[in-house]
Structure 1
Amino acid sequence: MTKPLSLDLMREDVAAIIHIGSAEIGDDDNLMDLGLDSMRAMNLVLIWQERGVDLDFSQMATCPTLAGWWQLVKRHMNEIAETRS
C-alpha cells in the first residue's frame, strides 16, 4: 500500500525527480526554476494518482509551487470527502 499524499511527501517526490535535496525546496519556490520540466511534472501527476489524488496538469502549471499544488490537493480531498458524506 502506498503512503497517502502529504505536503512533505510531495516535496520528497519533487526533490527526487529533479535530483536535489528536499530541504532545498521551499513551499513558495517556483519548481520550474529549480529544474522541473513538464515531462517530470506529468510523472508526478501519475505518481500522485497512484496515491489517490487526481490532479489536473493545467491547474498545476498555473502555480508551479508546492504551496499552490498543496492547495489543489486539499481542494481535491475536500471534494472527495463531500461526495462521501
Structure 2
Amino acid sequence: MTAVGKLCPVPGCEGIQKPGKLMCLPHWRRVPKPLKDAVWETWRAYEAAAKDRRSYSDPDRSNEFFVRRRAYRFAADQAVKAVSPPTEGD
C-alpha cells in the first residue's frame, strides 16, 4: 500500500504531507504555537475569501482574496522555515 499525499515541503524531509495539510505531522508538531495560530487564522480567512470570490464578481472581493492568499502563503512559508534545517550562511 502506498501513502496518499506528497512530500513534506521541509527541505530534506521524506515524510508525507497528507492532502489538506501544510507539512508532515512530525514537522507540524515542531512549529511554534504562535506560527501555527497564524497559519490557521490566515488559512481560514483565505478559505472564506475564496468562497466569497466564487459567489460574487465584485472586484473588491476578488482583491481581498489575493490579499488573504498572500497572508496565508507568508504564514505557511514562515512555518516551513521555522522547522527547516539551517542552510549554509545561516
The normalised TM-score by structure 2 is 0.31
State the TM-score, normalized to the length of structure 1. Answer: 0.32
